[in-house]
Amino acid sequence: MYYKQNPEAQLRKRLHEMIDQAEAERAKNPKQKKHVQPTIVKLLPSAAAQFTHTEHALERFFRRRIRPLLNNLEERLQRFTPSEIRLQLEDKIFRVGKVGVWNVKRLVTIWCLAIVAATILAILMVSSMDLHPLQKIFTVLLGAFMGAGIPFAALNSAIRNRQKAIRKQLPEFLDILCVSVQAGLSFDGAVGKMTKRMHGPLIDEFKRMQSDVALGMTHQYALTNLAKRCDLEEIYLFTTSVIQAEKLGTSMTRTLKAQADNIRDRHRQHVKAQALKAPVKIIFPMVLFIFPSIFVVLLYPAMISLIRAFGK
């Protein structure tokens, strides 16, 4: 009863039984060396230390050998890449809100590697096909162009997703901002309170605007940069109205309330427009997937009847 009610005592009893069993086995084999008794408890610290040492060695090898090679490769690819591509990648980084996080050199390297990988894949595919030489050249060039477009397509997708999140969060943000200013806070104070309690891409942009202002940038320039990074019509309208209110000295509360109502109406209209586009977007999947199955279900009995009739 004592062992059943006390799990620790039961575990202790089990350990004693295991020790007695090990002692009995060792007594049966007296020639076996006593110090060679590998146990998990003894091996774990040494294995962990060896793993940590290997990890540090790999990290040092990567830092001393691999990273300089990658940096050299990035520098060389940066020189041979057209300036228009670099400017486009910089603009994509700016619009996706990753300035200072993503490196243009790294994106240029990824772009070049995507071209090389797509070209090699196209060559391997063409080599196993019986095509005309011109068709092979066209296929390889098409693969290279597709590889060049994949990084830009991924960046454009990230920009669109970010703009959707900003557009979705903007009406709520403006409502709370308007209420905060009506309660007596200044524009900067209300924005500071909201950036501490809310999260999202729009909040990240306002945090960056606050850091720009703290570094000495004017409100007008900071708001203009915010609008450029977001690249949304609603943000342009909001920042323009705030800048005009600061310049002309008009009521910030009325300005924010008008902008909140306007952007809420715009958001409602945008949702309605997306809902109206749904029937048009669903036509292609219906034609491709649903209509063939319906035709098979409807026409198969008639075809069987016709085959039987003509067979007779």
Rounded average pLDDT over 63-81 = 71
pLDDT at res. 36: 46
pLDDT at res. 33: 47
Q: Where are the alpha helices (DSSP H) in 62-132?
A: 67-80, 83-96, 104-127
For 171-203, what is each residue's pLDDT tens digit? 888 888 888 888 888 888 888 888 888 888 888
pTM of model > 0.75: no
Rounded average pLDDT over 60-83 = 72
Under DSSP, the state recorded for 249 is T
* Position 10 confidence tier, pLDDT thresholds 50, 70, 90: low
Q: Under a CB-based contact definition with an 8 Å cutoff, are residues 177 and 199 in contact?
A: no
Which range scores top for mean pLDDT: 15-29, 97-111, 178-192? 178-192
pLDDT at res. 40: 43
pLDDT at res. 3: 44
The CATH code of the domain at 162-280 is 1.20.81
For 256-310, what is each residue's pLDDT tens digit? 888 888 888 888 888 888 888 888 888 888 878 887 888 788 888 888 888 887 7
Give the residues across from 102 on adjacent strands.
99
Cα gap 42→21, rounded to integer Å = 19
* Contacts of residue 174, Cβ cutoff 8 Å, sequence gap at least 6: 238, 256, 259, 260, 263, 264
- Delimiting residues of CATH 1.20.81 domain(s) in the chain: 162-280
For 206-237, what is each residue's pLDDT tens digit? 998 888 888 888 888 888 888 888 888 888 98
